[in-house]
Amino acid sequence: MIWFCSESGRETHGMARPPGLCLLALLGLGVSSPCWDPRGQPRRCMPVFENAAFGRAVRASNTCGSPPEDYCLHMGAQHAGALCHRCDASDPRRHHNASFLTDFHSQEESTWWQSQSMAFGIQHPNSVNITLHLGKAYEITYVRLKFHTSRPESFAIYKRSRAEGPWVPFQFYSASCQKTYGKQPRQYLRPGEDEQVAFCSDEFSDISPLSGGNVAFSTLEGRPSAYNFDGSPALQEWVTVTDLLISLNRLNTFGDDIFKDPKVLQSYYYAISDFSVGGRCKCNGHASECLPDEAGQLVCVCQHHTAGTDCEHCQPFYQDRPWARGTAEAANECLPCNCSGRSEECFYDRELFRRSGHGGHCRNCRDNTAGPHCESCRQNYYRWEPQGACQPCHCHPAGAGCHVLTGQCSCQPGVTGRRCDRCQHGFFGFSARGCRGNGNGHCIFVPKAGLAATLQLSFSGGKILRKGFFIKDVCDTPAVPHCPPMSPRVPLSCPQADRLKARLQEMEEWLQKPGCDTHPGQSAVLGDAPRGDGLPSPHLLRGTGHSPLSFLPPSAPSGCCDMLGGCKEVPGGCWPQCGVTWVGPVEGTCLFGRTEHCRDAHTTEVLEQAVMGITGG
């Protein structure tokens, strides 16, 4: 089987072969492709130069033969109408339709398209238009018209650069440029002038020769950047054509038409024997051939990892640098994105290219990777080796990510543990913003009416002192600063301290349940730990004779209130006898700093009973 390879993997038998294998097969045979040199390096390539008009359908706005009419050959000023013939669109031997403009014919047996004569009103200001649709963008070098009669006195060439785009003047020919087109005759530009301006030429507008006269329009002639075409986007756009329109605007005459002699009028008409367009299928230097696709649309067979009808952009995964046209100096092939083998999707990132020289920005990275090149682990993932799999760090939600190599969680202030899941010694109030310190090292003050502060502490053990209520971490960290003397009534062993800690933590969770909203100015002693939505264990502080609700003083009002100290906000102050206004649902200035005005003996008693219930004292 013979393989006809293209970079897209297509071949004539309809079987797909990977582009790389096609290239390797060619190189293995010692054959170079127009787009790749013998070493496998990309190089500029272009489709063959051709007559882009040959065999293509042309549409004319006016053609003789409907109805049949006589036309005469003009033999000069003294011999008008000497020899006449008949044009009949229904007779294959006598019709002159637009298909003869682009057909193949010999000089001896010429064919031509012909319009109706002046006898049917064909003369300025009435124009006859001939339209050629190329089916795809071409880069045009010249347009050539061979006239079967004398050349027109005035005609214009227009072009489209894209399908359904506007018609743009390409060239004007007239013996009366200013009168007919409002332009001065001109055939060249100075450097710096707009190179996409159509000239008007007074050449090729004489009435002679009476037959066989040529008009050849060179698209780059007279334009300074023609010698640096690869470096001139303006000229590249100028020569890009998808459609051409020839507008025949004024017939050349000897002036004898003013007498309205029918034979004279029948001798003046437009007739063209050949319409040629020299150029190449536009592939921007990235293809050597244009072929019809499945829908019959002419497209470039793109190489260099380019894509599009004209190879005008890069393939989806080849976005590492901006697309560029292939030139004689550089193929400017599209380069693949570097996604570390973890993605097949990317896009061109202009800012990334500006910073790093590589614009391929990967998306949908696999294996828990992230970054423009899938080169790093996602947040809260790590790996030991650069090419290894990213593993979850299992950090507590309150953590701030983890080290990408060790997996050690990056803890918030006051938080510790590899997973950042607990407060450091001497800190409390575990939250997404970290834990708060108390300013006394391992000695934490608990006000007499401030069981709330105790409930917020994450400690590993210690001893509670009745007078002043200090907690000292002694079980895990024995070498700590000295704390005030403890009361002999409430000593705690380490196991007992752990039991108290468990109950206090459960109480802490309960205190953070919805129901008491935080007010502006509330003390930060309790921290910002997340609130739950369940009720505390009914066994909390069992052995004390108190349920959680029994902390309320007997006369406390119902509703959202201070469950511990008995302080309640009422108009004019705290309930019942605080000297300042209550500012928080659990703690505040009533509990801390001005507690001598509050009746807090009940809270102190509850704390002592809780400790005694654990210690058996």
Lookup: tokens for 372: 């423009």
Tell me the average pLDDT across 9-26: 38
Residue 135: the pLDDT is: 93
The one-character DSSP state at 280 is E
Sort strands 168-174 and 200-201 into parallel, antiparallel or unpaired.
parallel
- The DSSP line for 78-140 is T-EEEEEEEE-TT-TTT---GGGGSS---STT---EEEEEGGGT-STTS-EEEEEEEEEEEEE
For the ranges 87-96, 276-285, 333-342, 602-611, the lowest mean pLDDT is seen at: 602-611
Tell me the average pLDDT across 110-129: 93
Q: What percent of the chain has pLDDT over 70?
A: 64
- The DSSP line for 301-332 is ---TTEESTTS-EE-TT--SS------SS---
- Sort 593 into a burial class: Cβ within 10 Å, 0-12 / 13-18 / 19+: exposed
Average pLDDT, the chain: 73
What confidence tier does 182 reach under pLDDT thresholds 50, 70, 90? very high
Residue 562: the pLDDT is: 39
Given a cut of 50, whether residue 577 has pLDDT beyond it is no
Structure confidence by residue, pLDDT tens digits, 429-463: 777 778 876 544 444 444 433 343 343 333 333 33
Q: How far apart are CA 319 and CA 229, in angstroms?
A: 26
Given a cut of 80, whether residue 150 has pLDDT beyond it is yes
Round to the nearest angstrom and report the end-to-end CA distance of the chain. Answer: 98
For the ranges 85-94, 182-191, 304-313, 391-400, the lowest mean pLDDT is seen at: 391-400
Residue 589: the pLDDT is: 34
Please say whether the beta carbons of 233 and 107 come within 8 A: no
For the ranges 42-46, 98-102, 329-333, 515-519, the lowest mean pLDDT is seen at: 515-519
Given a cut of 90, whether residue 355 has pLDDT beyond it is yes
For the ranges 375-389, 487-501, 582-596, the lowest mean pLDDT is seen at: 582-596
Lookup: tokens for 322: 């901006």
Residue 77: the pLDDT is: 60
- Sort 41 into a burial class: Cβ within 10 Å, 0-12 / 13-18 / 19+: exposed
Lookup: tokens for 588: 């505040």
Structure confidence by residue, pLDDT tens digits, 402-420: 777 777 787 888 888 877 8
Which residues, 6+ apart, have CB-to-CB distance to 550 below 8 Å? 606
Cα-flanking dihedrals φ and ψ of residue 72, to 5°?
-120, 150
Query: What string of H, E and C letters represents the secondary structure of 228-263?
Result: HHHHCHHHHHHCEEEEEEEEEEECCCCCHHHHCCHH
Residue 83: the pLDDT is: 84
Given a cut of 70, whether residue 173 has pLDDT beyond it is yes
The one-character DSSP state at 467 is T
Domain ranges in the chain? 58-281, 424-615
40 vs 8, 22, 113, 310, 415, CA distance in Å?
A: 17, 11, 49, 23, 59
The one-character DSSP state at 500 is H
Residue 431: the pLDDT is: 79
What confidence tier does 592 reach under pLDDT thresholds 50, 70, 90? very low
Given a cut of 70, whether residue 166 has pLDDT beyond it is yes
CA dihedral angle for residue 215, residue 217, residue 222, residue 225, rounded to 10 degrees:
-170
Given a cut of 90, whether residue 81 has pLDDT beyond it is no
Sort strands 290-292 and 360-362 into parallel, antiparallel or unpaired.
unpaired
For the ranges 204-208, 340-344, 559-563, 611-615, the lowest mean pLDDT is seen at: 559-563
Instruction: Find tokens 């013998």 and name the residue.
Output: 38
Lookup: tokens for 23: 């290239």
Lookup: tokens for 384: 């030991």
Q: How far apart are CA 487 and CA 469, in angstroms?
A: 9
Q: How far apart are CA 607 and CA 588, in angstroms?
A: 19
* Domain spanning 58-281: CATH superfamily: Galactose-binding domain-like (2.60.120.260)
Residue 614: the pLDDT is: 44
Tell me the average pLDDT across 577-599: 33
For the ranges 187-201, 285-299, 426-440, the lowest mean pLDDT is seen at: 426-440
Q: Which among 31, 39, 36 has a CA at the least distance from the CA of 304? A: 36
Structure confidence by residue, pLDDT tens digits, 31-80: 568 999 999 999 999 999 999 999 999 999 999 999 999 999 887 666 55
Residue 492: the pLDDT is: 43
For the ranges 71-75, 105-109, 173-177, the lowest mean pLDDT is seen at: 105-109
What confidence tier does 217 reach under pLDDT thresholds 50, 70, 90? very high
Q: How far apart are CA 220 and CA 236, in angstroms?
A: 10
Residue 600: the pLDDT is: 37
Residue type (1 letter), 270: Y
Structure confidence by residue, pLDDT tens digits, 223-273: 999 999 999 999 999 999 999 999 999 999 998 888 888 999 999 999 999
Given a cut of 70, whether residue 120 has pLDDT beyond it is yes
CA 251 to centroid of chain Cα atoms: 55
Lookup: tokens for 332: 């400017």
Residue 78: the pLDDT is: 60
What's the whole-model pTM score? 0.63
Please say whether the beta carbons of 155 and 224 come within 8 A: no
For the ranges 22-36, 132-146, 379-393, the lowest mean pLDDT is seen at: 22-36
Residue 438: the pLDDT is: 54
Residue type (1 letter), 457: L
What confidence tier does 334 reach under pLDDT thresholds 50, 70, 90? very high
More confident site: 260 or 523: 260
